Structures are given as C-alpha cells and as structure tokens.
Amino acid sequence: MENPKEIVAKSALRYITSGDVVGLGTGTTASEFIKALGASPLSKEVTCVPTSLETESLAKRLGLNLVSLNSVERIDITVDGADEVDNNKNLLKGGGGALTREKIVAHYSKRYVIVITEEKLVENLGSRMPIPIEVLPFSYVQIIRELNQMGLSCQLRKNFTTDNGNYIIDCKPNQKVLKGSLQDLNKAIKLLPGVVETGIFINFNPEILYHKNGQVLEIK
C-alpha cells in the first residue's frame, strides 16, 4: 500500500505541464514527488532545478533533466515539503538542512506547491519542530548565545554541514516567542551577523496539499 507521503506527493503531478521548469524540493515527501515525476511521461518534457545535492543525486538516478538556477529565466512551479504549516500558510522548513537553497528557489517560482501529511499542520510555527537557522561556522557559538537571549533554546546540529558549507542551529522558542510575531522574529534573527538564512518561510503564498484519512485536501 502507498503511504500518505506517496499519495500526497503524487497528487502534485496534476500541476505539472509539458515544458515547465520545475523546482525540486528536499526531504522525504519531496523525494516521493521526484520519484513520481521520474516515473511519469512528463519526466522527458520538463526541466528541473534541484534544491540540494541529495535531490540532485536522486533526480539524476531517475533520468530527469537538471539545470542550475542560474541557467533559467524563471521557475514555473516548485513542489516541496515542509516541517510545519501554520493557519496563515507560513512554513517551517530545514529539517533536511536545505533551507537556504529551498527559500531561493521558492522566491523565483511562479507557483509554489507544498505537499505534507496532516500532522504538519500547526497553530504556531516552532510548536512541533525546532526552527532551523543556517549560520557561518566562524561565529556559531556567539550566534547561539545571542539566540538564547532572544528566547530561543538552541543547539548546534551535530555532525552536519549544509551544501553551502555552513552549520545548522536548531532552536525551540519559549512560549512568549512562540505566540509572538513571526515577522519580527525572522527579522531579528537575520540581523545577526553570521546568520545566512532561517527556516521561517513567510509571505510565499503556497498552495498546500495535505493527506488526511486517505484523501488529499487542498488549501489555496
């Protein structure tokens, strides 16, 4: 039997048309979409931009036509997963460590489709999963100290380096931060020298496909 991630990932194929430039996300559910795309007739009719070396490797094995972001004028549609989605369709991403490239590809995409399972729907980002922050190795200790002072309980992700050669700090917000402004939190974090990017995705207006009780439901 197909698992929920396979079901919701395959449902995103209906948004892909011949000639599209397709952004390929990173993570377990995004991987299921890539497998489904690779097995479909559309696999020879689209061009794909991967968001990580892991995704690139999988897509190559499946015979998908890959190009770099710098070689295309636009991305027609990106299909990706998420660690959390709140009531305002803000996203928490970066469990797989590809948050910076994922955010760049999302920014340059005309259409942004997120495929998730029901448990990823939350009231507040950071309530279920820590907030990932990509940082330069040069100053990660100082950044952790400052983040802790902001109400985030932070730990360096052990034995992990991003495709960009950086570190990931995973941060659990306290209740005050959890209930506060995502916009203000994201801005405050990004103002810290040495922070490359956060896993908070705001104002991307994604289309959300989620699996619930054997069905795929949509939040536009």
Which positions are catalytic? Answer: 102
SS3 13: helix
The pair of three-digit structure tokens given for residue 176, joined into one six-digit string = 């005050």
208 beta partners: 114, 219
Q: What is the distance between the alpha carbons of residues 111 and 132, in angstroms, rounded to a whole number?
A: 24
Instruction: Compute and round to an integer the Cα radius of gyration of the chain.
Output: 17
Is residue 26 within 8 A of residue 55, CB to CB? The reply is: yes
Q: What is the distance between the alpha carbons of residues 110 and 72, in angstroms, rounded to a whole number?
A: 13
Q: At 44, phi and psi to the nearest 5?
A: -95, 0
17 sits in which H/E element: none
Q: What is the distance between the alpha carbons of residues 170 and 45, in angstroms, rounded to a whole number?
A: 39
